Homo-oligomer: A and B are copies of this chain.
């Protein structure tokens, strides 16, 4: 089974879409199998993270903003791909550091996410985007 999720983003940060995934798997009727998610972009990531305390998301953003500052920051003056904006090349770097694809076993009719695991689109660009995540279930 194939599907595409569209996730609208409005600036850098984590956007949860766990519920949409769970609904789609439930509607499929599949009891046991494998769910694959694949993001069709090079400036955002997929991420499984704690969905209990929202400050985890704030801290994740803060860490990656420090690890990969905007390309107009003095420490990043060695970057050459800067014509798409100061958030663009850092977005590509973050996309290299975090997953482009996730595979999650399905058992008992649901993805086997742990108690605190949520599935997120991590947007690395400042401008709003419509992000497409391809999903495969078999």
Q: Once bound together, how far apart are the Cα atoms of A105 and B68, in whole Å? A: 30
Q: Nearest residue in B to A64 (C-beta to C-beta)? A: B96
Task: Scan A105-129; emit 1 where CB is below 8 A from any B CB, else 0.
Answer: 1010000111011000000000000
Tell me if A30 counts as interface (CB < 8 A to partner B): no
Tell me if A21 counts as interface (CB < 8 A to partner B): no
Whether the pair B96, A49 counts as a contact (CB closer than 8 A) is: yes
Whether the pair A93, B47 counts as a contact (CB closer than 8 A) is: no
Tell me if A100 counts as interface (CB < 8 A to partner B): yes
Whether the pair B138, A34 counts as a contact (CB closer than 8 A) is: yes
Q: Which residues from B are CB-within-8-Å of A47?
A: 96
Oligomeric state, in copies: 3
Q: Which residues from B are CB-within-8-Å of A67?
A: 67
Shortest C-beta distance, A63 to chain B (Å), equals 5
Task: Scan A60-76; emit 1 where CB is below 8 A from any B CB, else 0.
Answer: 10111011100000000
Interface residue from B2, B33, B56, B138 paired with A89 (Cβ < 8 Å):
B56
Interface residue from B49, B63, B132 paired with A68 (Cβ < 8 Å):
B63
Q: A40-B117, A105-B2 are in contact. Are A80 and B98 (CB under 8 A)?
A: no
